[in-house]
Structure 1
Amino acid sequence: MSTSLSVINPLEGELLLSAVLGADDMCSMNFAREECYKLSAILLGKVIPAMGGYSNELACDIARHLEQIQTFSGNFCWRHRHLGASFGVVGKRPGIDVEVRP
């Protein structure tokens, strides 16, 4: 009769503490989310159709990357958006924001 023994490898590396986002960081995330929505509207509404739609491989890549940005960023920390709103709106905070125009 044979018995097997499992061996569990120890984890290596360092334990990281939880990340903390302040209200100002969340304010920036809220701004980034809105900018991403605007970019998505341009790309999905104008650029991809002009490229021939989703039959174009590059158009499919653009759409996939936009989706991955929202998915893997947690939609720019959507769950904590109210914290950022308490800090103000990027671009409308006197003395804090410097407007950048093209």
Structure 2
Amino acid sequence: MIRGPEQTLLEPAVLADFECHHQNQAREAFKKLERILTAMIIPALGQQHPISKDLYAQLDNVKLGSQNFCWRHRYIGYSYGANEVGGVR
């Protein structure tokens, strides 16, 4: 970490292949939750209900805050998962 008088610059974070794999799993679990909320819960409440609006906002916050679960590194996680399934490791 580099510190200046008014700012802090962090070094890049490094994710291992298994960590990317776990991000892929988290993304898939999130998609299931999102489908349940958008197909069943929110329509039951009504699109204009304050809770529905908050649920939509929270779904967006999770995607943005997690950078969609490290989407751009998903292939590293997929290759790790394939090695685990194939018994190479």
Please show how residues 29-48 of structure 1 align to structure 2 within 5 Å: 29-48=23-42
Per mean C-alpha deviation after superposition, the further-off stretch among 33-42 and 62-71 is: 62-71
* Structure 1 residue runs of 4 or more that deviate by more than 2 Å after TM superposition: none
Q: Which residue of 2 aligns with 1:69?
A: 62
The AA in structure 2 aligned to 1:64 is: A
Helix, strand or coil at the partner of 2:43 = helix
The alpha-carbon deviation at position 93 of structure 1 amounts to: 5.0
Matched, 1:82 2:81: no
* Distance across 2 between alignment mates of 1:15 and 1:67: 27
TM-score, structure 1 length as denominator? 0.72
Identity among equivalent positions (%) equals 38
- In our comparison, the structure showing a higher alpha carbon Rg is 1
**Structure with the bigger percentage of helix:** 2
TM-score, structure 2 length as denominator? 0.81
Matched, 1:24 2:15: no
**Structure with the bigger percentage of strand:** 2
* Distance across 1 between alignment mates of 2:40 and 2:9: 45
* Distance across 2 between alignment mates of 1:46 and 1:93: 34
**In the comparison of the two structures, how many residue pairs are matched?**
83
